[in-house]
Amino acid sequence: MAEMKTAAYICKGCEIGNRVDVASLVKVATKEGKMALVREHDFLCSAEGVALINHDIDHEGVTHIAIGACSRRAKTEAFNFPSVAMTRGNLREGVIWIRPDTEEARETTQEMAEDYVRMMCAEVKAMKVPEGNQKTGTIKTVLVVGGGLSGMTSALEASKAGYKVVLVEKTGALGGWAAKLHMRVPTREPYTTPEDNGVADLVARIEADANIKVYLNARIAKTSGAPGRFKAEIAVESGVTATEDVGAIIQATGFSLYDANKLPHLGYGKSPNVVDQAGLEALAREAAAAGLPIRRPSDGKEVKSVVFVQCAGQRDNTGEHLSYCSGYCCNASIKQATYFKDSNPDIDTVVLFTDLRTPGNGEDFYRAAQNRGVIFSKGVVSEVLANGNTCTVKFKDLILNEDTAAEADLVVLATGAVPNSGPELDALNEAVRLAEGGDEVARTQVIQMMDKSVLNLQYRQGPDIPHFMHGFNDSHFICFPYETRRTGIYTTGPVRRPMDIAQAIEDATGAAMKAIQAVENAGLGKAAHPRAGDLSYPMVRLEGCTQCKRCTVECPFGAIDEDEKRFPLFNESRCRRCGTCMGACPVRVISFENYSVNTVGAQIKAVDVPDEFSEKPRILVLACENDAYPALDMAGLNRNAYDPFVRVIPVRCLGSVNTIWITDALNGGYDGVMLMGCKSGEDYQCHFVKGSELGRYRMSKVYDTLKSMNLETERLLDVEVAITDIATLPARINTYAEQVKAMGPSPFKGL
């Protein structure tokens, strides 16, 4: 290994040179930062500036560089030097853009800039160039579980990109629910007429595609391994088990219909003339095959009147039925209403709704049906009564605010969808615990739940993907769709969130692209989202490990198991590089080459903390790099000023924050510590899913430590920050800074 040679580069561009004394920054980097080589440049991101750095790397033997310029989130293509360890001091967004350009502010602005130079010089010396994960998997085949419309689309899109696909379907035919549709909602202008369900074309394309291998009447019996080297055992109908080596997995297991038998008050089960939407599709297909109009199930006579009941067992706030909207039902009812109008324009067709939602086609499809005589009425149905071969639908008209009723030959319930997600892991783990204690009821429950397993993962955390709200597979609808807590395994379609066919096709394409990214990164030893491309991975000094299992338990992604001696065993290919294990470790033996307890600790200690008489407090901000730090950058872009006594250090996740950083900062004379992490809980926004939640739980224990140090608990503040908090975040910093000043200086200053 080459001897470390450090270099610091100070940029004068973007007004930095006009706002701070760059010569003084050079002096700080040289004398206090003890950098071997220090240079300043008018525009460091220019071709000339980049060439200067490359020259020093190639000809001066520089191995570690610290760049004082813009935020580490900016100019990433220009400042890309993979052969050396690198960090960046944020002089633009973090200093001059959040400070007023006045003579009064110049002193504190200069102090901020000098501290950030000290911090970057200290950090880079504690870093190493990541060598990359050597335990890589080079398999690039994609496994798609589920042969419905979403699964088939993912398979075809991956194949078109040049990747081999294994497609596993539990039934004897491809197509899923889409194959059972008589027609589908229109997907193109003018959005007036239902179109063919499109399944036959997709199946034909798959059968003709040499890249796609299909297993029918098959289930996943066992899945082991990691991205780039998964091994899937597939149980087929004959009882034989086939083994496939795959690099990434897409779960496209779709949904089941909500059980309409739970809706007896709406007449289901009491009259054959009350059907759900799938039941009507079957009637429509049967009628079309016979060349006849849709018939009434009770006596086979032609339907002359039909009522569609929207949100049947959905959007229910009582907790008895589904609380969410399934996303496709309104358009499906409009489509089904046109089945009757196509057969006979005089058929009385009524859609009862509370809110009509028509994603993808605006109001065009709704208006087209309305123009054909479909009646849309805003009302809440209370009861459906069977009257021989007809039904009475009782409802409250929300426009007229009165109770009324309608007679119909056929009533169609929009019952919605329940995701086929596999067992809920918390419930399964609890049942396993009870069963191991001899509980026979729990033993039966375990068998039943395991029978629902989709992937049968060989993970200590459980056999399937954790669930999000309402039983959907874990992902985040906005920040990171498709991603789950199992690296290299993605979900798509209505198993991920409620959606219609058009959305499912787009969704399946996105999942295929993410799976491709996963297999490519795995082959290179790189991390997956959100640190895609990161070559670092966790390392542990086993001689210092106390076998407390905190890292194993807290890892959000199932990347840590235990070896035969009960030491942590890292599966680097599953790791997302969040650092939660590092934050959890009480003896601080887990680190990354470019991010560790030391890289952050060195920055904390590098700050020049004034004495208690200076009236210049120091406040440490540990900011999540995914939401809080970008919000601070954009606050700077908008010139939203905040307190000059704040020093910000970006962290990979709040979950990576080790309590030693807090105690070191307070022992070192900092007057306050502010933690900025993503929203946690059910509606989380943490890019590492559980990282911020785990970090907050861990930090809640620090308040006892503060009391033992005779410090006010208010000196530590944890705030939830969204990336959109551009305007409000500076105000929150300023409010906290005023609170810290009101408490007075830390008693540890100068010690």
Tell me the pLDDT tens digit for each residue of 668-681: 999 999 999 998 88
Helical (H) or strand (E) element with 104:
helix 103-125
In angstroms, the CA 249 to CA 442 distance is 31
136 pLDDT higher than 90: no
In angstroms, the CA 167 to CA 216 distance is 8
Q: Which of 129, 151, 177 represents a domain boundary (last residue)?
A: 129
Residue range 656-661: average pLDDT?
A: 94
Residue 749 lies in a domain: yes
pLDDT tens-digit readout, 226-280: 999 999 999 998 789 999 999 999 999 999 999 999 999 999 999 999 999 999 9
356 in Cβ contact with 330 (< 8 Å): yes
131 pLDDT higher than 90: no
182 in Cβ contact with 339 (< 8 Å): yes
For residue 197, the domain's CATH number is 3.50.50.60
pLDDT tens-digit readout, 317-369: 998 999 999 999 999 999 999 999 999 999 999 999 999 999 888 789 999 99
Residue 677 lies in a domain: yes
115 in Cβ contact with 90 (< 8 Å): no
Residue 459 lies in a domain: no
Residue 78 lies in a domain: yes
- Are 631 and 652 within one domain? yes
Residue 451 lies in a domain: no
Confidence at 748, pLDDT banded by 50, 70, 90: confident
- Reported as half-sphere exposure (CB side, CA atoms, 13 A), residue 436 has a value of 6
pLDDT attached to residue 249: 98
- Are 497 and 545 within one domain? no
- Are 543 and 515 within one domain? no
Task: Read off the pTM.
Answer: 0.91
pLDDT attached to residue 690: 87
pLDDT attached to residue 51: 97
Residue 567 lies in a domain: yes
Cβ neighbours of residue 533 closer than 8 Å, sequence gap 6 or more: 521, 526, 527
Long-range pairs of 657-660 with CB within 8 A, sequence gap ≥ 24: 657/583, 657/622, 657/695, 657/698, 657/699, 658/582, 658/583, 658/585, 658/588, 658/597, 658/600, 659/698, 659/699, 659/701, 659/702, 659/705, 660/588, 660/597, 660/601
- Are 26 and 52 within one domain? yes
Residue 590 lies in a domain: no
- Are 548 and 511 within one domain? no
12 in Cβ contact with 24 (< 8 Å): no
Residue 325 lies in a domain: yes
Peptide bond into 194 cis (omega under 30): no
In angstroms, the CA 575 to CA 486 distance is 9
pLDDT attached to residue 83: 94
pLDDT attached to residue 268: 96
Peptide bond into 293 cis (omega under 30): no
- Are 488 and 560 within one domain? no
pLDDT attached to residue 584: 94
In angstroms, the CA 353 to CA 337 distance is 14
691 in Cβ contact with 699 (< 8 Å): no
Averaged confidence pLDDT in the chain? 94
Return phi, psi of residue 321, to 5°: -125, -165
Give the sign of the dihedral formed by CA 472, CA 475, CA 479, CA 483. negative
Domain ranges, residue 472: 142-254+465-523
- Are 242 and 366 within one domain? no
- Are 264 and 249 within one domain? no
Cβ neighbours of residue 444 closer than 8 Å, sequence gap 6 or more: none
- Are 303 and 286 within one domain? yes
The burial of 705, by beta-carbon neighbours within 10 Å (0-12 exposed, 13-18 middle, 19 or more buried), is given as: middle
- Are 295 and 413 within one domain? yes
Look at the chain and report how many structural domains it folds into: 5
- Are 390 and 313 within one domain? yes
In angstroms, the CA 689 to CA 582 distance is 16
For residue 40, the domain's CATH number is 3.40.50
For residue 546, the domain's CATH number is 3.30.70.20
- Are 412 and 277 within one domain? yes
Nearest-5° Cα angle at 8, 26 to 645: 65
Q: Which of 357, 387, 418 represents a domain boundary (last residue)?
A: 418
pLDDT tens-digit readout, 516-530: 999 999 999 898 888
Confidence at 134, pLDDT banded by 50, 70, 90: confident
In angstroms, the CA 743 to CA 543 distance is 43
In angstroms, the CA 129 to CA 138 distance is 23
Query: What share of residues in the chain are helix, strand, coil (percent, to 5)?
Result: 35, 20, 45
